[in-house]
Amino acid sequence: MWPDTRVIDLFGIGIPILQSPMAGSSGHEMAAAVSEAGGLGSLPCASRSMEQIRMDIGAVRSRTSKPFNLNFFCHEFNAYDETTEQTWLDNFAPYCDELGVSPELAASGSNLAPFGEEHCQLVEKLSPAVVSFHFGLPAADLVARVKSTGCVVISTANTVEEAVWLAERGCDAIIAQGTEAGGHRGMFLSQTVTEQAGTMALVPQIVDAVQVPVIAAGGIADGRGIAAAFALGASGVQIGTAYLRTGQSLANEMYRARLAAGTDEATVLTNVFSGRAARGFATRLTQDLGPIADTPMAFPMGYGVLAPFKASAEAAGSVEFSSFLAGQAVGLGREGDAGDLTRQLADEAQVQFARLSGR
Amino acid sequence: MWPDTRVIDLFGIGIPILQSPMAGSSGHEMAAAVSEAGGLGSLPCASRSMEQIRMDIGAVRSRTSKPFNLNFFCHEFNAYDETTEQTWLDNFAPYCDELGVSPELAASGSNLAPFGEEHCQLVEKLSPAVVSFHFGLPAADLVARVKSTGCVVISTANTVEEAVWLAERGCDAIIAQGTEAGGHRGMFLSQTVTEQAGTMALVPQIVDAVQVPVIAAGGIADGRGIAAAFALGASGVQIGTAYLRTGQSLANEMYRARLAAGTDEATVLTNVFSGRAARGFATRLTQDLGPIADTPMAFPMGYGVLAPFKASAEAAGSVEFSSFLAGQAVGLGREGDAGDLTRQLADEAQVQFARLSGR
């Protein structure tokens, strides 16, 4: 039924579709729905406390006995310095009056925590089927402990060099994230988005460079994209944006309105939201300060600066300061149930496989 | 044998692979080899005089009776002004001493002519099977004359909006050029490359938006990419970079060395070579002045400024001022005969179609 079953076998799932962990936009309901349908649901843990993660896992397990993925960030804070912060804050000064934001409210900050000892203990205790990391990998001893728990470990590469680096450090599969992808770039060795490849070019080159199975991400939102990913040599796909309009999405109404109207030209890669490059809807803010600022706020502290402006603008009905993340295939998205969508995507892929062979 | 035969039928060819017209890097030998093998060879005419185009066509016809494509640019010069030119020339002043270039040699100029009356008369007289345009379309009366000659007319879209525009104006097929593609972006309505989509996201959205067949371009260099393009709904592919290392390529040894060493991260979209955005190998020049300069030289006059620096640097063994164009799948290229490569690519695609269906 699937031309390559390496990801299906590795994760113990029926449909080789991973739901992207989307911090703030997806939670336990989406993860449970996708996993129960046969895909691999994901719980984004970077913005959640230990207690919240435990509750999320419990909620998923109450709805399905099937495998799911816990996603963690492994960023570092080493790029932070006061001069950069002040320069960045100054950029927002002109908006204070307009949006009624007190300057003292615009302050760096974030609730995004990197994977550490506490997370590792939680993983050891609750042993999810899969643990995915973003922005590289945590320290080698932490990776070893996660793997010895029996978890499958995966991470994201934006370049062939990153894929080889991850495979050498024990990743059981590699997510090859093309530039089409919504959300944060996983980049950790590559320095600039301008040199990173689209999915069509990236996937086969990573497939050729590593022995582990490759999961294609970026620009995939229907059965055509899934079939294309398998044609390129991928053993599975990761899909995010296409799930953002489902009933299980946490996207608010303003976000959903942008998704529903999204075109191929609607998004940009920008670092003005968080401090790191992410693909999201172009706004007045990405236009004014970016889309790629030369001296952005250190990730993830940019979110703290943005928060009061986003809140004030959205309260006034404007999305021009909203960090609504989405990929370039947003125009192919649809409403419905996340579990139904997972099954539909699988069925559509089968139709394409049959069509390509002339059956 | 092919899951979609619309491009095969439209062009009257056996293999739905269009060889990209690569001005300066491909000529009549490559066009003849690809057409004779069953694909659609292309003659880049923008940099050729009327007499040269006539000779090229004669040379192709002496080697094959099969269809081929004449490619023309339809750029305008309206962005040119003296202040922009002087600002651009000033950027190169620091390199004059280093490279031994007299400042007066650095002057705007180009031999790239847009499609006009003389070209149209030549097309009417010699009636090639296919005429492709880049940067939109020429004036409506010229398009009508080309079509009434019996030529199939195609052009390149970088966005869904551009594809719809081209289809409404009579294009018989649309080349959907993802950001992975080497060479100049066809963009003519879209203003910035940062909002343009990769092949994986672009092709299905254009397929959904137009009735005419779609030819996928960008990141396609082997049978996997071809099969992926058909999965996305394309009826054919356009391939350029993969032909640059063949025996029929006009690329010089320094260019070929960069191609042979090319990785997924080797290229950037830059406007510092010609004045318009094109994908090519990153160099000291793209780093210093770009890759996307805010106020580039007006296209195509940037080539004239660059020429003496490129010549001087290459004579000294450096490629840091060379405008070597290539796409993000350069790492998948190979040496050999252009006709053999065309047949190999077709065979590889068939292997993928069979693999995807589980045969």
A228 neighbourhood in chain B, CB within 8 Å: 200, 227-229, 231-232
Q: What radius of gyration do chain A's Cα atoms show?
A: 19
Strand partners, B317: none
Is residue B251 domain-resident?
yes
pLDDT at B326: 98
Q: Is the pLDDT of residue A91 over 90?
A: yes
Q: Is the pLDDT of residue A111 over 90?
A: no
Would an 8 Å CB–CB cutoff place B39 in contact with chain A? no
Q: Average of pLDDT values for B227-252?
A: 98
pLDDT interval class at A108 (50, 70, 90): confident
- Count of Cβ atoms closer than 10 Å to residue A80 Cβ: 14
- Interface probe for B, chosen from A199, A264, A271 (most Cβ of B below 10 Å), is A264
Is residue B55 domain-resident?
yes
Name the closest residue on chain A to residue B270, using Cα atoms.
A194
pLDDT at B79: 62
Would an 8 Å CB–CB cutoff place A261 in contact with chain B? no
Would an 8 Å CB–CB cutoff place A47 in contact with chain B? no
Q: What 8-state DSSP symbol labels residue B108?
A: -
**HSE of A236 in the Cβ direction (CA atoms, 13 Å)?**
30
CB contact under 8 A, B198 and A204: no
Identify the H or E element spanning B226.
helix B223-231
Query: Which of A12-21, A98-107, A261-270, A271-280 is the least confident region?
Result: A98-107
Among A159, A231, A332, select the one facing B264 at the smallest CB separation.
A159
Would an 8 Å CB–CB cutoff place A230 in contact with chain B? yes
Q: Do B91 and B139 share a structural domain? A: no
CB contact under 8 A, A356 and B227: yes
Burial bucket for residue A155 (CB in 10 Å: 0-12, 13-18, 19+): buried
Q: Average of pLDDT values for A19-44?
A: 98
CB contact under 8 A, A231 and B204: no
Model confidence pTM above 0.95: yes
pLDDT at A250: 98
Q: Do A69 and A177 share a structural domain? A: yes
Q: Do B229 and B246 share a structural domain? A: yes
State chain A's mean pLDDT as an integer: 96
CB contact under 8 A, B159 and A264: yes
Name the closest residue on chain B to residue A357, using Cα atoms.
B353
pLDDT interval class at A80 (50, 70, 90): low
Q: Are B329 and B242 in contact (CB under 8 A)?
A: yes
State chain B's mean pLDDT as an integer: 96
Among A159, A202, A231, select the one facing B227 at the smallest CB separation.
A231
Would an 8 Å CB–CB cutoff place B164 in contact with chain A? no
B195 neighbourhood in chain A, CB within 8 Å: 265-268, 282
Q: Are A279 and A302 in contact (CB under 8 A)?
A: no
ipTM > 0.90, yes or no: yes
- How distant is the Cα of A216 from the closest Cα of chain B, in angstroms? 11
Would an 8 Å CB–CB cutoff place A120 in contact with chain B? no
Q: Is the pLDDT of residue A130 over 80?
A: yes
Would an 8 Å CB–CB cutoff place A228 in contact with chain B? yes
Q: Average of pLDDT values for A60-78?
A: 93
pLDDT interval class at A112 (50, 70, 90): confident
Cis before B114 (ω within 30): no
Q: Average of pLDDT values for B288-292?
A: 96
B291 neighbourhood in chain A, CB within 8 Å: 194
What is the spatial distance between Cα B283 and Cα A175, in angstroms, rounded to a whole number?
29
Q: Do A195 and A130 share a structural domain? A: yes
Q: Average of pLDDT values for A17-36?
A: 97
B267 neighbourhood in chain A, CB within 8 Å: 195
Q: Do A275 and A197 share a structural domain? A: no
Q: Average of pLDDT values for A82-110?
A: 89
Would an 8 Å CB–CB cutoff place B293 in contact with chain A? no
Nearest to B118 by CA among B51, B56, B69: B51
The sign one gets for the Cα dihedral A267, B219, B43, B35 is: negative
Q: pLDDT, tens digit, for every residue of B310-342? A: 999 999 999 999 999 999 999 999 999 999 999
Which residues contact residue A73 at a Cβ distance below 8 angstroms, ignoring those fewer than 6 apart?
Answer: A46, A112, A113, A114, A115, A133, A134, A135, A300
Which residues contact residue A143 at a Cβ distance below 8 angstroms, ignoring those fewer than 6 apart?
Answer: A137, A153, A169, A170
Q: Do A134 and A86 share a structural domain? A: no
Is residue B308 domain-resident?
yes
Q: Do B277 and B181 share a structural domain? A: no
Q: Average of pLDDT values for B30-58?
A: 97
Q: Do A189 and A86 share a structural domain? A: no
CB contact under 8 A, B231 and A233: no
Residue A113 structure tokens = 């925590």
Residue A241 structure tokens = 């944006």
What is the spatial distance between Cα B324 and Cα B307, in angstroms, rounded to a whole number?
12
B352 neighbourhood in chain A, CB within 8 Å: 231
Name the closest residue on chain B to residue A291, using Cα atoms.
B194
pLDDT at A201: 98
Would an 8 Å CB–CB cutoff place B264 in contact with chain A? yes
Domain that holds residue B176: 6-75+113-259+331-356
Q: Are B174 and B154 in contact (CB under 8 A)?
A: yes
Kindly report the length of chain B.
Answer: 359
Query: Which of A87-96, A218-227, A262-271, B254-263 is the least confident region?
Result: A87-96
Would an 8 Å CB–CB cutoff place A351 in contact with chain B? no
B327 neighbourhood in chain A, CB within 8 Å: 201
B210 neighbourhood in chain A, CB within 8 Å: none
Is residue A262 domain-resident?
no
CB contact under 8 A, A198 and B190: no
pLDDT at B356: 96
Q: Do B242 and B198 share a structural domain? A: yes
What is the spatial distance between Cα A137 and Cα A203, in angstroms, rounded to a whole number?
20
CB contact under 8 A, B331 and A194: no
Q: pLDDT, tens digit, for every residue of B339-352? A: 999 999 999 999 99
B197 neighbourhood in chain A, CB within 8 Å: 180, 219, 264-265, 328-329
- How distant is the Cα of B327 from the closest Cα of chain A, in angstroms? 9
- Interface probe for A, chosen from B200, B263, B294, B350 (most Cβ of A below 10 Å), is B200
Is residue A340 domain-resident?
yes
pLDDT at B165: 98
Q: pLDDT, tens digit, for every residue of B110-154? A: 888 899 999 999 999 999 999 999 999 999 999 999 999 999 999
CB contact under 8 A, A198 and B220: no
pLDDT at A359: 66
φ, ψ for residue A74 (rounded to 5)? Answer: -135, 55
- Interface probe for B, chosen from A5, A190, A200 (most Cβ of B below 10 Å), is A200
Among A197, A224, A267, select the one facing B264 at the smallest CB separation.
A197
Interface of B with A in 310-349 (CB under 8 A): 327-329, 331-332
- How distant is the Cα of A202 from the closest Cα of chain B, in angstroms? 7
CB contact under 8 A, B357 and A354: yes
Number of domains in chain B: 2
Would an 8 Å CB–CB cutoff place B36 in contact with chain A? no
CB contact under 8 A, A204 and B222: yes
Is residue B1 domain-resident?
no
pLDDT interval class at B359 (50, 70, 90): low
Q: Do A298 and A176 share a structural domain? A: no
pLDDT at B107: 81
Name the closest residue on chain B to residue A352, using Cα atoms.
B231
CB contact under 8 A, B198 and A219: yes
What is the spatial distance between Cα A3 and Cα A265, in angstroms, rounded to a whole number?
32
Q: Is the pLDDT of residue A79 over 70?
A: no
Name the closest residue on chain B to residue A228, using Cα atoms.
B228
Which amino acid, B87? T
Q: Is the pLDDT of residue A318 over 90?
A: yes
Q: Do B24 and B88 share a structural domain? A: no
pLDDT at B85: 87
Is residue A1 domain-resident?
no
Q: Is the pLDDT of residue A30 over 70?
A: yes
pLDDT at A288: 97
What is the spatial distance between Cα B94 and Cα A61, in angstroms, rounded to a whole number?
65
pLDDT at B154: 98
* Neighbour-count burial for A40-70, b at 16+ CB within 10 Å, e otherwise: bbbbbbbebeeeebeebbeebbebbebbbbb
Which residues contact residue B141 at a Cβ distance below 8 angstroms, ignoring those fewer than 6 apart?
Answer: none
What is the spatial distance between Cα B165 and Cα A189, in angstroms, rounded to a whole number?
40
Among A179, A231, A268, select the one facing B228 at the smallest CB separation.
A231
B290 neighbourhood in chain A, CB within 8 Å: none
Q: Average of pLDDT values for B86-91?
A: 92
Q: Is the pLDDT of residue B65 over 90?
A: yes
Give the CATH number of the domain where residue A128 resides: 3.20.20.70
In the numeric block, the tokens 């970079």 are attached to B241
Q: Do B207 and B247 share a structural domain? A: yes
